[in-house]
């Protein structure tokens, strides 16, 4: 080929490439936003021959009233009436201004389209959040044929803007606020969500999903509806909104824990405190200390592999939740800790399975770490390193410290003549804690963990607390009854507190005894109203700035995966509004407003649509006749 011809060919090729680049750039920047494609796992049972409606609901004085359907009477479903009449059906209630329209638009999930404005690693998380939002909407669908029917719009566009796309890890200082604006433009409706971080944007998507509902009467076969207009400004009252689940007394499969996280995200809770181990079992396989699970799990199948833990942590992060792993020490450490002598490490734990158990622990079986064995601290450092690696958490760490039995140590130390060195075994407990904190710092690459949580106990009471616990880094999880002096004393001494009062926020109580001897029940049952009405910073006149938040706790002596959902929901949803919104409380009557009942009832239906099995709030007649049961 001649040089002139070659030059012409290269010029043509260059021109073609330039045109292709311009075209692709134009398509990317100005082309229509494409709908994301997801695999749906929703299972519904559509009726092939739907029966004609029996009831209609009318909005009268800001309340839906049920009426027998008569000929020529307009047909309005309860869901549509509830969304358009009276108070908002959002849960938890937003903390900022809310303006909701009084009209609705019919659409189908195929019309949903998405767009995002974010830089950095938040982009991938937003994509995942869109998928979760999409599935939440689709979970409402009760008839697969509805998408073939007419709608009021052609497109439902969801836009998400995140100012700081580099923040993809929750911290106490993370801004979780958002603003949501929903507007109709001709045959389109656009939802704009703006937030400073991904976590706020995720909450905005959750709120948007609550402005969408299934109208069983639409087009005679049902359909999805959304408010025609809405503005919501929102942000949490507390940075720590937690739920603790114990998986040591009874093992909980990973899939059941995922359901817990789904429920948490729907209620804007942000800390899953995983009490992984206890004296009964050690189900988590730790890479650096596999002997713990090998000798302490109920069976090889009832364990959590490192891969499963990391996957669950990521499952939680996308849903705006951080996972706090806890291996309680020095108490509550028995089964799983008996392999020391075989490997030349000596006794790592004492009083393991000791009888009579009532002398050495609060419930069977007993077990407590051996504070005078230096090898114990080597093992603890390995555990801490694994927990930090598996959870990715190094801003907060739960050290445990619950219910140490000094009689157990006294009996053991008598055998070694060490007991004479101590006039008060609280000093030995304090020395153990200081050594454990030092090993935690080593496990964290030499960096001090800024927020270490410990259970309230006798060591963090006067006079010991100021000797062994640093006010700047220690947070005490106060679990005693609200009438006890623990919480006000801790705040008076200048410590930060995480509230988990047993008389309000322990969800395992009220199911009777599970053994014949000793106290084995924390009766009575805590109904959702008790959970909701617990506002200790007001009731006890506490300095709110020292309270990082609250946590409900579920110990599992009397439940497993089959009753997990019912024990948690909707009571944990009631707790969620307390720590997100912190609504006012009337201390003279402790009465709960009608709209709380109706909104919580609606939220329970959402949780059920997402595959959870929450307890019923009341007879269905009460839901169909708002205000009539109060």
Residue numbers annotated as active site: 278, 332, 403
List, as own/partner pairs, every contact residues 476-483 make where C-beta atoms lie below 8 angstroms and the sequence separation is at least 24, other chains included: 477/398, 477/453, 477/551, 479/455, 479/506, 479/553, 480/456, 482/534, 482/536, 482/539, 482/540
- In sequence order, the 6+-apart residues with CB closer than 8 A to the CB of 25 are none
Phi, psi of 400 (to 5 degrees): 90, -125
Q: Which DSSP letter does residue 547 get?
A: E
β-pairing, 63-68 vs 55-60, is: antiparallel
* Selection from 247, 253, 141, 235 nearest residue 194 by Cα: 235
Phi, psi of 107 (to 5 degrees): -150, 175
For the chain, how big is the Rg over CA atoms in Å?
A: 28
The 10 Å CB-count burial string (b at 16+, else e) for 158-173 is bbbbbbbbebbbbeee
Q: Are 279 and 334 in contact (CB under 8 A)?
A: yes
- Rounded Cα distance between 424 and 421, Å, is 9
Token readout for 555 is 């110990």
Bond from prior residue into 278 cis (ω within 30 degrees of 0): no
- Rounded Cα distance between 214 and 610, Å, is 13
DSSP string, 178-197: EEEEEEEETTEEEEEEEESS
- Rounded Cα distance between 497 and 491, Å, is 7
Q: Are 396 and 440 in contact (CB under 8 A)?
A: no
Q: Are 68 and 61 in contact (CB under 8 A)?
A: no
Phi, psi of 587 (to 5 degrees): -70, -15
Q: Are 249 and 280 in contact (CB under 8 A)?
A: yes
Helix runs in 92-231, H state only: 122-138, 198-210
Phi, psi of 46 (to 5 degrees): -65, 145
Q: Which DSSP letter does residue 284 get?
A: B
- Rounded Cα distance between 321 and 565, Å, is 18
- Rounded Cα distance between 212 and 85, Å, is 15
Q: Which residue has the tokens 């195929």?
A: 110
- Rounded Cα distance between 347 and 376, Å, is 9
Q: How many CB atoms lie within 10 A of CB 523?
A: 11
Largest Cα separation within the chain, whole Å, is 103
Going from the C-alpha of 572 to that of each of 91, 409, 469, 531, 577, the distances in angstroms are 12, 37, 31, 8, 9
DSSP-based three-state secondary structure for 190: strand
β-pairing, 223-227 vs 63-68, is: unpaired
- Rounded Cα distance between 503 and 393, Å, is 30
- For 549, what's the count of Cα atoms within 13 Å in the CB-facing half-sphere? 21
């Amino acid at each position: 080929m001649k040089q002139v011809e070659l030059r012409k060919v290269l010029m043509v090729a260059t021109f073609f490439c330039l045109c292709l680049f311009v075209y692709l750039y134009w398509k990317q920047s100005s082309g229509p936003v494409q709908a994301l494609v997801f695999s749906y796992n929703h299972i519904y049972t559509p009726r092939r021959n739907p029966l004609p409606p029996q009831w209609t609901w009318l909005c009268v004085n800001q309340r839906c009233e049920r009426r027998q359907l008569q000929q020529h009477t307009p047909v309005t479903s309860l869901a549509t009436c509830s969304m358009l009449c009276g108070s908002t059906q959002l849960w938890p209630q937003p903390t900022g201004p809310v303006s909701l329209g009084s009209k609705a638009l019919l659409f189908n999930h195929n019309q949903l389209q998405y767009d995002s404005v974010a830089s950095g690693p938040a982009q991938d998380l937003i994509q995942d959040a869109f998928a979760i939002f999409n599935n939440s909407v689709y979970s409402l669908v009760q008839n697969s044929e509805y998408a073939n029917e007419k709608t009021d719009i052609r497109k439902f566009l969801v836009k998400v803007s995140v100012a700081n796309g580099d923040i993809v890890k929750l911290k106490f200082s993370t801004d979780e606020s958002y603003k949501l604006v929903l507007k109709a433009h001709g045959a389109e409706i656009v939802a704009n969500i703006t937030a400073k971080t991904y976590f706020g944007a995720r909450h905005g998507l959750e709120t948007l999903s609550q402005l969408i509902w299934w109208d069983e009467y639409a087009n005679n076969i049902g359909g999805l509806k959304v408010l025609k207009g809405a503005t919501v400004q929102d942000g949490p009252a507390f940075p720590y909104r937690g739920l603790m689940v114990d998986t040591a007394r009874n093992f909980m499969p990973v899939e059941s824990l995922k359901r817990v996280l789904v429920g948490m995200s729907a209620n804007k809770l942000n800390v899953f405190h995983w009490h992984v181990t206890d004296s009964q079992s050690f189900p988590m396989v730790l890479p650096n200390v596999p002997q713990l699970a090998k000798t302490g799990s109920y069976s090889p199948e009832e364990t959590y592999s490192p891969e499963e833990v990391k996957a669950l942590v990521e499952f939680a992060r996308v849903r705006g939740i951080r996972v706090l792993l806890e291996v309680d020490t020095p108490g509550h450490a028995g089964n799983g800790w008996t392999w020391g002598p075989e490997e030349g490490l000596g006794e790592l734990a004492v009083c393991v399975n000791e009888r009579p158990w009532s002398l050495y622990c609060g419930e069977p079986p007993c077990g407590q770490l051996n504070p005078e064995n230096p090898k114990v601290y080597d093992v603890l450092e390995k555990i801490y390193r694994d927990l930090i690696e598996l959870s990715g958490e190094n801003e907060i760490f739960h050290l445990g410290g619950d219910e140490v039995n000094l009689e157990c140590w006294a009996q053991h130390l008598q055998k070694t003549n060490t007991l004479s060195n101590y006039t008060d075994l609280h000093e030995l407990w304090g020395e153990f804690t200081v050594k454990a904190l030092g090993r935690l710092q080593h496990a964290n690459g030499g960096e001090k963990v800024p927020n270490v949580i410990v259970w309230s106990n006798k060591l963090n009471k006067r006079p010991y607390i100021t000797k062994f616990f640093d006010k700047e880094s220690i947070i005490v999880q106060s679990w005693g009854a609200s009438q006890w002096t623990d919480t006000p004393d801790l705040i008076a001494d200048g410590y930060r507190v995480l509230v988990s009062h047993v008389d309000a926020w322990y969800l395992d109580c009220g199911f009777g005894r599970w053994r014949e001897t000793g106290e084995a029940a924390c009766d009575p049952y805590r109904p959702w109203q008790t959970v909701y009405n617990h506002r200790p910073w007001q009731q006890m006149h506490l300095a709110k700035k020292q309270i990082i938040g609250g946590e409900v706790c579920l110990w599992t002596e009397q439940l497993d995966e089959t009753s997990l959902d019912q024990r948690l929901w909707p009571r944990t949803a009631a707790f969620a509004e307390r720590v997100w919104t912190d609504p006012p409380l009337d201390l003279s009557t402790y009465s709960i407003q009608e709209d709380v009942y109706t909104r919580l009832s609606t939220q329970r239906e959402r949780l059920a649509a997402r595959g959870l099995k929450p307890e019923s709030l009341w007879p269905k007649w009460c839901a169909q006749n708002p205000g009539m049961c109060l």
